[in-house]
Amino acid sequence: MFREWKRIFSIPNFYVTLLVIPPIIFLFYGFIYQKQFAKELPMAVWDEDHSAISGTLTDMMEQNENIRFTQTVFSNAEIEKLMKEGKIFGAVHFPKNLESDVKKNHQTNITLYTNGAYLVPAKMIYKGAAEIIIKGGLAVVLEKAEKQGMPADRANALVQPIKLNTTVLYNPDFNYQIYLTPGLITVGLQMALIVASVLILNLEFKRNTIDEVLKISKSSSKIIVGKTLAHLCIAWVLFALVAWLVFPLYDLGKPKTDFNFFILYTLMALACIGIGMALSAISNNLLFVTDVALFFTSPAFVFSGFTFPRWAMPWYDQFYAAIMPYTHFLDGFIKLYFMELPISYAVPEIMKLLLFIGITFPVTLFFYQKKINQYIKISSH
């Protein structure tokens, strides 16, 4: 274990992957979403009515924190052109005779344009504008009913007989930093741990230092345990960096969840180390196993279900997600960190991570002992 620590701090492959790149990347992840909310998205207004109603609705939308009118347009073609140039994310069109149709009790259509190529801004613009347009329509009906002599409370009940109250839990403000930063950081941890772990065993042969290891012990179990403990300690250093520096720096710290987070993270770290060492024990080709590790870990964020539900994915994508430790870590992390639930809620995820550990380490021991025996046999000749 002490020998492995020395290697981690002296070999660039290890200390760059585990101790240099992760802190920089984690700080950048938090910095990207420092604004926390995507506000004042640029929009265009196309007003063919120029009436009091269209003006009022425009002013009301301008007050919404998601919307900022930056352009005035006069056709569909202008809207498309501005969207293609990236100058606006949406637009609203008030048709001719809007006010007169409303006064005559004729239905009129207001058109809201959004750019579906930018999914999140499109949804935010729709949410902000749709609420205002719906409220504006209800206000017009309510005003008419009151002018006809109907009491205000009765008119309000008639216009809106069912009122919807919404309660958003765990991230009520839809804060990007709260939502994305912890997920990106933890998937980065998986990648760093697995990529470093594929080097643990093969690098001994690559650097011709295997004889140093065999002088300490010829037992694969002792070698694997010592190396695992050394890398687990480094994984704990990364945990301390994330939980006690990066998260608090961006107001993401939740001290009450630290212990549960630590338990779940430790199991993920062991699972990652186990996968990396198993690959390293099976194949002698260092470049190949590194490529496999990168290929295996790179799409983890997409397949984990963090941004798109796994149940909606094809079965083969669900299978791919299931063979990555991060998927099960994330399910537990959402429960323990985001929802601040007791650790008992994450028992299914803990069992799956233990299964990774229970499979990968015996595989590593078996194949690495074969390598050692073969090397000793060749050396003795």
CATH code, domain carrying 98: 3.40.1710.10
Select from 127, 159, 191 the last residue of a domain: 159
| Within-domain flag for 233 | yes
* Closest by Cα among 327, 334, 336 to 305: 327
37 by DSSP, 3-state: which? Answer: coil
Band (pLDDT 50/70/90 cuts) for residue 20 is: very high
Q: Fill in the amino acid letter for 123.
A: K
Band (pLDDT 50/70/90 cuts) for residue 160 is: low
Band (pLDDT 50/70/90 cuts) for residue 169 is: confident
pLDDT of residue 323: 92
| Within-domain flag for 51 | yes
Same domain assignment for residues 336 and 357: yes
Residue 34 pLDDT exceeds 80: no
Select from 135, 159, 183 the last residue of a domain: 159
This model's pTM is above 0.85: no
pLDDT of residue 146: 63
Same domain assignment for residues 198 and 340: yes
Same domain assignment for residues 150 and 278: no
For residue range 138-148, list pLDDT tens digits in order. 676 666 666 66
Same domain assignment for residues 301 and 240: yes
Select from 159, 190, 216 the last residue of a domain: 159
**192 CB-near residues (< 8 Å, 6+ apart):** 17, 18, 21, 22, 238
Phi/psi class of residue 50: alpha, beta or left (left: φ > 0; alpha: ψ in -120 to 50)? left
Same domain assignment for residues 207 and 321: yes
Domain with 57, as residue range(s), is 41-159
Q: How far apart are CA 350 and CA 355, in angstroms?
A: 9
Domains identified in the chain, total number: 2
For residue range 210-240, list pLDDT tens digits in order. 999 999 998 999 999 999 999 999 999 999 9
Residue 272 pLDDT exceeds 90: yes
| Within-domain flag for 169 | no
Q: How far apart are CA 246 and CA 253, in angstroms?
A: 8
Radius of gyration of the chain (CA): 29
Same domain assignment for residues 104 and 121: yes
Band (pLDDT 50/70/90 cuts) for residue 98 is: confident
Same domain assignment for residues 90 and 235: no
Same domain assignment for residues 118 and 209: no
pLDDT of residue 185: 92
| Within-domain flag for 359 | yes
Same domain assignment for residues 235 and 266: yes
Residue 5 pLDDT exceeds 90: yes
Q: What's the rounded mean pLDDT across residues 55-82?
A: 90
Same domain assignment for residues 195 and 241: yes
Least confident range of 111-125, 234-248, 340-354: 111-125
Same domain assignment for residues 245 and 302: yes
Same domain assignment for residues 181 and 316: yes
